[in-house]
Structure 1
Amino acid sequence: MRVDGRDVAVSGDLLQPLARRTNDIFRLALATVFLIVVITSSLITRRDWVALERSISGIVALLTPTQSNLVYLAYGVAILALPFAILFGLVTARQWRLLGAYGAAGLTAVLALSINSSGFAAPRWHFDLDDRLRTLLSQFLDDPRWIAMLAAMLTVSGPWLEARWRRWWWALLLAFVPIHLVVSAVVPARTLLGLAVGWFVGALTVLIVGTPALEVPLDGAVRALLRRGFAVTGLTVVRPAGPGPLVLWAATDDPEDDGGSRAIVEMYGPNQRSGGIMSQVWRRVRLRNSETAPLHASMRRAVEHRGLMAIAIGDLGVANSTTVALSALDRGWTLYAHTPTRGVALDETSADESLVAPVWKALAVLHGHQISHGDLRGKEITVDVGDDDATALFGGFGSAEYGATDVLLQADIAALLVTTTAIFGAEAAVRAAIAEFDEDTVLSASRRLTKAALPKHIRASVIDPGTVMSTARDEVMHQTGADQIKAETITRFTRIQVIQLVLLVALVYVAYPFISTVPAFFSELRTANWWWALLGLAVSALTYVGAAAALWACASGSVSFRNLTIMQVANTFAATTTPAGVGGLALSTRFLQKGGLGALRATAAVALQQSVQVITHVGLLIFFSVVAGTSANLSHFVPKTTVLYLIGGVALGIVGVFTFVPKLRRWLGTELRPRIKELGGELAELAREPKRLAIIVAGCAATTLGAALALWASVGAFGGGTTFVTVTVVTMIGGTLASAAPTPGGVGAVEAALIGGLAAFGVPAAVAVPSVLLYRVLTCWLPVFVGWPVMRWLTRKDMI
Structure 2
Amino acid sequence: MAAHAATHDQLFDSDLRALRASVDLRKGALVVAAVAAVGAALVVALPGAYGAVSAAFAKLGHADPRWLVLALGLEALSFLGHIVLFRAVFLDRSSRIGYAASYDITLAGHAATRLFGAAGAGGIALQVWALRRSGMPGRTVGTRMLGFLVLLYSFYALAVAAVGLGLWTGVLAGGGSIGLTLFPGIAALALVAGALGAAALARRMPGRLAQAGAAVGDGVREATAVIRRRDPRLVGGLMWWAFDIAVLWASFRAFGAAPPLAILVLGYFLGQVGNALPFLGSVGGVDGGMIGALVALGTNPAAAVVAVVVYRLFSCWAPTVPGGFAFASLRRRVASWKADDESPEDELAAARQRRHERVAEPVLVAEPVAA
Q: Tell me if both proteins adopt one fold, taking TM over 0.5 as the criterion.
A: yes
CA contact (8 A) 1:720 1:763 kept: no
Which residue of the partner structure matches residue 15 of structure 1? none
Pair 682,703 (structure 1): closer, same or farther in 2 beyond 3 Å: same
Distance in 2 of aligned mates of 1:509 and 1:792:
28
1:552 and 2:92 are equivalent in the alignment = no
Structure 2 residues without counterparts, runs of 5 or longer? 1-6, 44-52, 187-200, 338-371
Partner of 2:221: 681
Aligned residue for 2:131?
592
- SS of equivalent residue, structure 2 residue 135: coil
Which has more radius of gyration?
1
Which residue is 1:729 aligned to?
A: 266
Contact 1:632 1:726 in 2 (8 A): yes
Task: Look up the equivalent residue of 1:606 and give its one-letter code.
Answer: M
**Per-residue deviation, 1:575:** 1.2
Q: How many residues are treated as equivalent by the alignment?
A: 288
State the secondary structure of the residue aligned to 2:281. Answer: coil
Is residue 608 from structure 1 mapped to residue 150 from structure 2 by the alignment? Answer: no
Q: Is the 8 A contact 1:550 1:699 kept in 2?
A: yes
Change (3 A) 1:540 1:730: same
What SS does the corresponding residue of 2:62 show, helix, strand or coil?
Answer: coil
Query: Equivalences for 1:467-616 in 2 at 5 Å?
Result: 494=14, 496=16, 499=19, 523-557=58-92, 558=95, 559-578=97-116, 579-616=118-155
Is the Cα contact below 8 Å between 2:144 and 2:222 reproduced in 1?
A: no
Higher helix share: 2
Q: Deviations along 1:427-452, whole A, 9 cap, x unmatched? A: xxxxxxxxxxxxxxxxxxxxxxxxxx
SS of equivalent residue, structure 2 residue 334: coil
Q: CA shift at 1:550, angstroms? A: 1.0
1:792 has 2:328 as partner: yes
CA apart distance, 1:747: 1.8
Partner residue in 2 for 1:299 = none
Specify whether residues 605 and 767 from structure 1 end up closer, same or farther in structure 2 by C-alpha distance, changes over 3 A only. same
Q: Does structure 2 conserve the Cα–Cα contact (< 8 Å) formed by 1:608 and 1:682?
A: yes
Shift in Å, 1:678: 3.0
- Matched with 1:695 is 233
Where do 5+ consecutive residues of structure 1 fail to align? 1-485, 645-658
Change (3 A) 1:742 1:511: closer
Query: Structure 1 residues 494 and 555, CA, compared in 2 at 3 Å: closer, same or farther?
Result: closer
Q: Secondary structure at the match of 1:798?
A: helix
Instruction: Give the superposition deviation at 1:686.
Output: 2.7
Q: C-alpha distance in 2, partners of 1:798/1:504?
A: 26
1:619 to 150, 158, 163: 158
Distance 1:592 1:607 in 2: 13
State whether residues 637 and 733 of structure 1, in contact with CA within 8 Å, keep that contact through their aligned partners in structure 2.
no
Q: 1:717 to 1:577 in 2, by over 3 A?
A: same
1:564 maps to a residue whose letter is S
Q: Contact 2:110/2:320 (CA < 8 Å) preserved in 1?
A: yes
Residue matched to 1:766:
302
Deviations 1:280-299 (A, max 9, x none): xxxxxxxxxxxxxxxxxxxx
Following superposition, the deviation at residue 510 of structure 1 comes to 8.4
1:789 shift after superposition: 3.8
1:159-238 correspondence to structure 2 within 5 Å: none
What displacement does 1:528 show?
0.7
How far residue 729 of structure 1 moved from its aligned partner, in angstroms, is 1.7
Distance 2:56 2:31 in 1: 17
Deviation, structure 1 residue 620:
2.1
Could you say if the C-alpha distance between residues 549 and 555 of structure 1 is closer, same or farther in structure 2, counting changes exceeding 3 Å? same
- 1:633 paired residue among 175, 186, 191: 175
Q: Which amino acid aligns with 1:531?
A: R
Between the aligned partners of 2:86 and 2:333, the Cα distance in structure 1 is: 20
Deviation (angstroms), 1:773: 0.4
- Please tell me whether the aligned partners of residues 56 and 302 of structure 2 are also in contact (alpha carbons under 8 angstroms): no
State how 1:12-51 maps to structure 2 within 5 Å: none
Distance 2:120 2:69 in 1: 27
Give me the whole-angstrom Cα distance separating, in 1, the residues matched to 2:27 and 2:255: 31
Matches within 5 A, 1:88-103: none
What residue identity is the alignment partner of 1:594?
A: R
**1:536–1:710 contact (8 Å) kept in structure 2:** yes
The 1:499–1:672 alpha-carbon spacing in structure 2 relative to 1, beyond 3 Å, is: closer
Report the identity percentage: 22
In 2, are the aligned partners of 1:554 and 1:608 still within 8 Å (CA)?
yes
Distance 1:499 1:609 in 2: 21
d(CA) in 2 for partners of 1:673, 1:752: 31
* Contact 1:617–1:701 (CA under 8 A) maintained in structure 2: no
Give the alignment partner of residue 752 of structure 1, picking from 282, 288, 294.
288
CA–CA separation in structure 1 for the residues paired with 2:174 and 2:57: 31
Question: Structure 1 residues 535, 796: closer, same or farther in 2, change over 3 A?
Answer: same
CA offsets 1:356-396 (integer angstroms, 9 cap, x no match): xxxxxxxxxxxxxxxxxxxxxxxxxxxxxxxxxxxxxxxxx
Give 3-state SS (helix, strand or coil) of 1:762's partner.
coil
SS of 1:745's partner is helix
Deviation at 1:566, TM superposition (A): 3.0
Q: Distance in 1 between matches of 2:114 and 2:233?
A: 26
1:288-299 alignment, distance < 5 Å = none
**Equivalent residues of 1:540, 1:707 under 8 A apart:** yes
CA distance in structure 1 between the aligned counterparts of 2:115 and 2:318, rounded to whole angstroms: 13
| Native 8 Å contact 1:529 1:717 kept in 2 | yes
Instruction: Report how far residue 751 of structure 1 moved.
Output: 1.3
Change in 2 beyond 3 A, CA 1:672/1:585: same
Instruction: Work out the CA distance in 2 between the residues paired with 1:707 and 1:726.
Output: 15
Provide the C-alpha distance between the structure 1 equivalents of 2:214 and 2:19, rounded to a whole number of angstroms. Answer: 31
Residues 495 and 567 of structure 1, relative CA distance in 2, 3 Å threshold: closer
Tell me how far 1:532 sits from its aligned partner. Answer: 0.9
User: For the residues of structure 1 that align with 2:16 and 2:54, how far apart are their CA atoms?
Assistant: 36
Counterpart secondary structure, 2:282 = coil
Q: 1:571 to 1:665 in 2, by over 3 A?
A: same
Q: Provide the rounded CA distance (Å) in 2 between the counterparts of 1:726 and 1:739.
A: 20
